[in-house]
Every structure is written in C-alpha cells, then in structure tokens.
Structure 1
Amino acid sequence: MPVTETFHIDRPSFDPESGEARFSYRLGDLTFTEILGLPTVAERERAATPAFRKLLDLTAFVLGVSYFKLRAPFDIAAGLPLSEAERAFVIDVYENGLGEFYARNDLARFGRLRLSVPDDSVPRKEAPGLAERTLLPIGGGKDSLVSVELLSHVGMDFTPFAVNPKGPILTSVEAIGREPLYVTRSLDAEMIRLGKEPGYYNGHVPSTAINSMIASLCALLFGYDQIVLSNERSASEGNVEFDGRETNHQYSKSLGFELLIADTLANATGGALKYFSLLRPYSEARIASLFAHGDRFDAVFSSCNRNFRLSGHDGPLWCGECPKCHFVFLIFAPFMAKERLLRIFGKNLLDIPANERSFRELAGLAGQKPWECVGEILEAAACFYTLTRHADWHEDAIVRSIKADLFAQYGEEKLQLAMAECLTDSRDHHIPPALAAKVAAYAV
C-alpha cells in the first residue's frame, strides 16, 4: 500500500446563484470532486464574507477524510491558510476522527501526520447578521427528537437540518412540523468504487464532524447564530486502545471534539457562531427516559444504522439484529411500557437467544464494546440490573441468562450506583447557562 504520496486539498468553490459548493482533492494520480447542493440564498453577499470563506476552507479539510483514507498517506498539503489553532483542529480530525479507521486497518498514524499549509494570521471579521435562532441537525433517532421537545418547551426558535435526508429523517421532520433546511452531498463515485477494490483502504469516517461543517456553511448563509447538536455524555467513552491512544467510534460526538470545533467555528466567525450539544449532561438511559414521556415520534424514528445506507432506505425502521437496535431496546426497557416498546420494534429483542452475544458485549460481559453509536458499558450493565428486578422483563431469556454473570462481574451495589449515576445530570457540558437552566427546569 503506497503511503509516500501526499494528499492534496484544492481550494473549494461556491456559487451562490446555484448553491453548489465544489471540493476537489488529489491523491497521487487520482483526482476527486465532491459536490454539496445548498439551498439558494437571497443575500448573496454573505458568501463573499471572510468568515464564510474561512468556513468553506475548513469544510474542505474535513470532507477530505473520505478521500484521504483510500491510501492514508502521512502527508497532507493545501494552499489554504490556517492559523495554529486551525492546524490543530485539522490534525485532530485526521487523527482522532479517523481513529477507528486506523485501528480496524492496523495503521499507525497517531502523531505521525504532517500538514503543510500557509500560515494565516489575519484576524477574522464577525459574521454578518446571524439571528438568534438555532439550526438543529436531525438524525431520525431518539436523541435529536428529545432535543426537539426540549427546545420546543423552552420556546426556542429552531430549524431542522439534515444532509441527504432519507427514511426516518424525513418522517421525523414531517412529524416535527417545521420547515427544514436540507443539503445534498454527492461523494465522488470513483472514491466509492475504489473503496471496494484491493489495494485501497476503507472504513469509518467522523460523520458528525462532516455534517457539522456543512451546517456551519448554512448557518452563515441563512443567518443562524447557533448549531445545536444532540450528543450525549456517553459518546465520550472510547472502544479500544490502539497505537497508544483510546479510539472512539463516536469521537466527533465526544465532549472533547465539541469543545474543539466550537472554538474553531467561533474563531472563524469573530465569535458570532455558537456550537454545543443540548444533551451533553445526559446518559443514554436518561435520554431514553425523556423520550418515553411522549409517543408522537414512536412510529417514525429509528436509531438503527444497518438499514440506512448511502444508497437509501432499504429496510424496516429497526433490523432488530445489530448492536444499535439491541442497545436502544435495552435502555428503553426500564422506562417504557413493554407493550409500547414491542410495538415500536415489532418483537422482544430480549427474548431471542440468538441476540445474547451482542447483549453481553454491550454490558461488558464478552468481547469489546461494539463499533457502534452505543452508550457506556457500565450504563448497559446498569440497565440490565434494573431489568432483573422488573416485573415485565425479569423472565425474558437474555435477562435470565446473563443475570448470574452480571452480578458476579459487577456486584449489586456497583450496579445500583451506576443506575443512579445514569439518571443524574452532569455539569460537564458546553450549553449556554441561561438555556441550560431552562432545559433543566423542564427535563425532570
């Protein structure tokens, strides 16, 4: 596998008349172009501001991970000026953001990547006319829909946002009942083809980082002063140690990355654009308990990734077989009526013996934490502990099968304390204080 090449990032372009942004890359003798289709904007002068130009350049770096990973060279070069802090941001995306990719392909890259770009010491000007309103990315799962309910109840103006919406994103936005802002993203077809060929690498990319940068472009063009994510505190827990670092499938959802990208976006816009996660104080179990308060999204949401590929929606809302389905079922069970949960999933995932290995991995009783957007291992174990004492669930096959091993590994006292911790809100977050206080008053 050739790694002596340099990955080149060309200057991106944006046409405000068509809403088309083009991002070009070179890797050895290979060339690629990715295209974003943004809604057309009436105030086209916004696209000419230094702040938008800077965000467009930073977006080019972040989108580039999809093409870089084909050969994962050590050198990255661009004629796009970056400040010292922006260099650190880009390196973080290419190192920690691709941590799972490196681990699963056994590639040692941490601390070894070289980024060659001109220095940028020009102070940024404030972004023009950003109104006090929120761009809210919708993923079609439980998390962003809990954010919808929280923002609605505190009276905050928000617009649903998505890139290449399909399946449960579309049905969720329809149920939300607000006019959305959508972007189309067209990856270079040759990159997709080569990713399946011998001699090229493939693997996970930091999709939250990618979609966040795309959202930042829309925030400036259409006048939003904040992007609100729906990432929980559990997302900061990694999966495995590799090449001297913890690697995390959800790295670009972690608090560490949130603080880094928030600072990067603020600096690029003179402090005008804010970025934070509304659900950061909560565990996955706590979010499940909040979702269970209402049922208006039961028939439209899905957190299952298996049936929602780049090619589109090709299955039911829940496959019932992947670790994500199993985890979501597990954390809902302590808080939701059994009949309602079975209606959502179509079957009882805790009463199917073939699922036992997957549930054991989620609770830390076998293997490693799955490479999926699932919560903390101890959190899953704590939810299982609750089910062993729950009249509706304690007789189900998997709950009975793992009970003895669960108690032997953790002990009842530790599991009790873990469940209490899951339901205690953390103060380690980046939410503006006034909004945090309003949300805390409602989310009881």
Structure 2
Amino acid sequence: MSQTFRIEQPQFDPATGVVRFTYALEGKRFTEVLELPRGIAPEAAGSRAFEKLLDLTAMVLGVSYYKLKAPLVIEAPGIALTVDERDFVIDIYENGLGEFYARNNLIRFGRLTLATAEDTGPAPDAPALENRALLPIGGGKDSLVSVELLEAAEAEFTPFAVNPKGPILGSVETIGRPALYVRRMLDAEMIRLSSEPGYYNGHVPSTAINSMIAALCAVLFGYDRIVLSNERSASEGNVVFDGREANHQHSKSLDFERRIAATLSAATGGALEYFSLLRPYSEARIAELFSRETKFDRVFSSCNRNFRLAGHEGPLWCGECPKCHFVFLIFAPVMEQERLVSIFGRNLLAEPRHEASFRELTGLAGQKPWECVGEILEAAACLYLLTERPEWRDEAIVVALRDDLLAQYGQPALENAMRELMADSPEHHIPADLAKRIAEHAL
C-alpha cells in the first residue's frame, strides 16, 4: 500500500470563529469547516495552548477522511507533536477506529506510521480559565442525568453541542440554561465517496471528535473542565479482531478518558480538566437515576438509527434497533410500565419479532451489537429481574428468554450481577469535592 494520508495545518479566523481543516488523500483534497461562537477574545485565540489544541483537533478530525482508504502512512509535517501526543493520535487511529477495521477486515493495529514534526519545547502556559464546566449534551438519558447531578451539586456549567438537532435542542430548552453550540460541516466530496465502490466507510470515534471541539471552546471562552457523561460499561468491547479488542465505544472508555485527559491537561499547562461524571455508574444505575425525574420524558432520545436517518426530526424512538431495545430493557426494572410505554410509544418487550435482538444484548446469541449499549451481563441481569415482576413476567420477550438465561448464567450469578450494577464503582476521575457532592444526591 503506497497511499499516504496528509493532514495540513488548520487555519483559524478569530474574527469570524471559522476554522478550516484540510486533508489530502490519493490526489484529492478535503476541507472541513467549524463555525465556533462569536465573541472570541484575541488573547485566548493567540495563546500557545489554543494553537496546540487546534493542531491536535486537526489530527483527530482527520479520521473521517483517513478511513476512505485507511493507508498505513499518516503525515502532518507542519504540525509538531510531543511523544505523548503522538501516542494519543495513534490511539485514535488504531483503537478509535477498531470497529471500522473489524467490520471492513482491515489489518492496521501496530502497523501505522505517523510522521509529524517533533515538539521538544516547553509546555504551554496555563490560560486563565473560570471554574465552570462545558457539558456536552447528546439528547439521551446520560447527559441529562449529569445535568441533574451538577445542579444538585450547585456546580456551574453550560450545555454544549455540535450540530444540535431534535432531542438536543429539546433537552437544552428543558434544562433552561444558555448553551454553547458549534456548527461542523464535513466535506461533501468525502461524504459522496464514502458510498462509492473502492472506498471504505464505517464508524468513527465521535466522542473524541466532539471532545476536541469542546476543548477549543473551553480555552476560547474560559471553562476549566469538560464534563462527559460516559458510564463504566462503555469500557467493554464488542469482538476481538487482529489480536485486539475492538470497542464501538472506545472513545467513551475509561482508558481513553485517561489518555485524552492527560493530553488536554499537558496542552493547556494543567488548566483544563476532562472527566466523566457518570463513570462510577452502570447503565442500569443511570436509568434508576433518570427515572427519578419526569421533565425530560418527552424530549430525550438515545435512538441512533433515527438520528442517522432523519436527524431526529421525526419520532424520538424507532423501536427497532438494539439501542432502543437496550434502553427500554434497563428502564423496565426501575420505571412504571405505563410511563415507559408512554415514552417509547409501544411495549418493546411485547413484540416477539425482536427476540433475536434481545438475545444478542443478553449474550444468548451472536455478539454484542455495534451500538452504545451496556455490558452483556448487565442486560441479562435486567431481563432476569423482569421475570420476577408481575407487570413484566408474561411479556413475550421475557417468557422467551427466561429459561435460557437461567441455563446460561444461573440464578445466583444474575442476582449478584444486579447487586453489583446498582453499586457505585470507585474507579473514576471526578474531582474529590464534586464526587462527594454528587454521591450525596445519588443515594
């Protein structure tokens, strides 16, 4: 393979807030554009910390264009990176694209070459950032639980989103705080080629991409922390491919959180923090926390299929995809049946045609779906719990899976798993003072 993917230095106009990222591959050039909010302070835009983050963002956003051909050589001669930053970028292009490689049967792990200039200078000075958080809002249950926890802890934060639509806008309106939005415009030719013969397409680490965009805004507008809403089960992979675990949610995992937190801190002289507020919790525990509040019932959605197909301009839930099935399943043990069916518009556990999907989610068949769903044992434990609930035990899916769940896992293991799911993990990077305040609210 002789192709090379080239990343050029980004171009930023602080007067308009427009950033242009240019990439070259196989004789073609692509330009992606970000429109950041107006009102940027010149001193923030001219800081070395911001320039460093801008270069790193160019490297990360490049995955969308790189994957058209996925060559072994990546070069960015105009961008200087430290050794640690190079490791961070390689992780993005290897593990961040792990699902893409697995589904396209591409052998890339440990084989990529990254050629950049070498940054051996002193660390950037720390910019002056205020004690407040940018909170990415995805329109699903997770970030809305973070909203509740931050408000209970009386922590200052601003909702943040890239290309907000549908449930993001509805959620932010319900939150009732001014938001910070960024418009991202992918190169139209890249989008066209993604569906052409001879080019690859597939999943990219969107959380990593949006996190880098958030980091730019944090420095420009004075936020000293980016608070994510990634749960502990995001660290579980889907399949082993090319000798390595491929994880649909790699950029939501604890391992990646550590990497990007260290990278952003070093790039800003220690000024910018990055952590997930929900890392101590399982998906089942998050569902329990969400169920305590009803104000978001009609605005939130975790359905990725509807987002892809209609930009969430239509129904909030398709009811057909593994994500819908998983979210319904983890809410069922902690939410009144009438309320849950009202949210989804139907009872997904009463539809026998979806049995195969629930079997995959619970580990009874196939593999863990390529979706942002929780751990297999978590789904199995939640479904088993429903076999003991009068309002759920006679539903078609529960009846169909009950005996197989008991045969595969055993009743003691399923009951123990449920207890562990509702216990909070100490493995997280939430600052101690904030962790204590949110723990008190989450009891």
Q: 1:311 to 1:56 in 2, by over 3 A?
A: farther
Q: Secondary structure at the match of 2:225?
A: strand
- Distance in 2 of aligned mates of 1:442 and 1:304: 28
Task: State the shift of 1:314 in Å.
Answer: 4.2
Q: Secondary structure at the match of 1:320?
A: coil
Q: Hey, what does 1:281 align to over in structure 2?
A: 280
Contact 1:124/1:270 (<8 A) preserved: yes
What does 1:22-101 align with in structure 2 at a 5 Å threshold? Answer: 22-78=20-76, 79-101=78-100
The CA RMSD measured in Å over matched residues stands at 0.8
Q: Percent identity?
A: 68
Q: Hey, what does 1:315 align to over in structure 2?
A: 314
Q: Secondary structure at the match of 1:308?
A: helix
| Alignment-mate amino acid for residue 42 of structure 2 | R
- Distance in 2 of aligned mates of 1:334 and 1:42: 47
Q: Hey, what does 1:140 align to over in structure 2?
A: 139
Contact 2:2/2:71 (<8 A) preserved: yes
For residues 259-304 of structure 1, the C-alpha deviation after alignment (integer angstroms, 9 at most, x for no partner) is 0000000000000000000000000000000000010000000000
- Distance in 1 of aligned mates of 2:311 and 2:340: 26
| Alignment-mate amino acid for residue 95 of structure 2 | N
Task: State the shift of 1:42 in Å.
Answer: 4.1
Task: State the shift of 1:362 in Å.
Answer: 0.2
Q: Hey, what does 2:19 align to over in structure 1?
A: 21
Q: Hey, what does 1:227 align to over in structure 2?
A: 226
Check if 1:120 corresponds to 2:113: no
Contact 2:17/2:40 (<8 A) preserved: no
- Distance in 1 of aligned mates of 2:40 and 2:80: 29
Q: Hey, what does 2:427 align to over in structure 1?
A: 428
Comparing 131-140 and 429-438, the one that deviates more: 429-438
Q: Hey, what does 2:367 align to over in structure 1?
A: 368
- Distance in 2 of aligned mates of 1:14 and 1:168: 30
For residues 113-146 of structure 1, the C-alpha deviation after alignment (integer angstroms, 9 at most, x for no partner) is 0000111011222332200000000000000000
For residues 380-431 of structure 1, the C-alpha deviation after alignment (integer angstroms, 9 at most, x for no partner) is 0000111000111001011001100000000000000000010010011111
- Distance in 1 of aligned mates of 2:342 and 2:108: 46
Task: State the shift of 1:40 in Å.
Answer: 1.3
Q: Secondary structure at the match of 1:77?
A: strand
TM-score under structure 1 normalisation? 0.99
Contact 1:41/1:221 (<8 A) preserved: no
Q: Hey, what does 2:290 align to over in structure 1?
A: 291
Q: Secondary structure at the match of 2:333?
A: coil
Q: Secondary structure at the match of 2:23?
A: strand
Check if 1:201 corresponds to 2:197: no
Contact 2:165/2:313 (<8 A) preserved: no
- Distance in 2 of aligned mates of 1:43 and 1:64: 27
For residues 9-58 of structure 1, the C-alpha deviation after alignment (integer angstroms, 9 at most, x for no partner) is 00001111000000000012010000000001241221110000000000
- Distance in 1 of aligned mates of 2:193 and 2:264: 33
- Distance in 2 of aligned mates of 1:122 and 1:417: 52
- Distance in 2 of aligned mates of 1:410 and 1:128: 53
- Distance in 2 of aligned mates of 1:60 and 1:308: 25
For residues 82-125 of structure 1, the C-alpha deviation after alignment (integer angstroms, 9 at most, x for no partner) is 00000000000000000000000000000000000111011222
| Alignment-mate amino acid for residue 150 of structure 1 | L
For residues 183-205 of structure 1, the C-alpha deviation after alignment (integer angstroms, 9 at most, x for no partner) is 00000000000000000000000
Q: Hey, what does 2:380 align to over in structure 1?
A: 381
Q: Hey, what does 1:265 align to over in structure 2?
A: 264
- Distance in 1 of aligned mates of 2:40 and 2:95: 38
- Distance in 2 of aligned mates of 1:397 and 1:248: 31
Q: Hey, what does 1:348 align to over in structure 2?
A: 347
- Distance in 2 of aligned mates of 1:168 and 1:158: 19
| Alignment-mate amino acid for residue 324 of structure 1 | K
| Alignment-mate amino acid for residue 424 of structure 2 | D
Q: Secondary structure at the match of 2:385?
A: helix
Comparing 321-330 and 34-43, the one that deviates more: 34-43
- Distance in 2 of aligned mates of 1:69 and 1:191: 10
Contact 2:40/2:220 (<8 A) preserved: no
Q: Secondary structure at the match of 1:182?
A: strand
- Distance in 1 of aligned mates of 2:212 and 2:337: 40
For residues 364-392 of structure 1, the C-alpha deviation after alignment (integer angstroms, 9 at most, x for no partner) is 00100000000000000000111000111
Comparing 385-394 and 96-105, the one that deviates more: 385-394
- Distance in 2 of aligned mates of 1:311 and 1:298: 20
- Count of aligned pairs between the two proteins: 442
Give ranges in structure 2 of 5+ residues lacking alignment. none
Q: Secondary structure at the match of 2:117?
A: coil
Q: Secondary structure at the match of 1:385?
A: helix
Contact 1:168/1:317 (<8 A) preserved: yes
Q: Secondary structure at the match of 1:309?
A: helix
- Distance in 1 of aligned mates of 2:130 and 2:123: 19
Task: State the shift of 1:151 in Å.
Answer: 0.1
| Alignment-mate amino acid for residue 173 of structure 1 | V
For residues 301-325 of structure 1, the C-alpha deviation after alignment (integer angstroms, 9 at most, x for no partner) is 0000111128623430000000000
Q: Hey, what does 1:248 align to over in structure 2?
A: 247
Runs of 4+ in 1 over 4 A off after TM superposition: none
- Distance in 1 of aligned mates of 2:258 and 2:71: 27
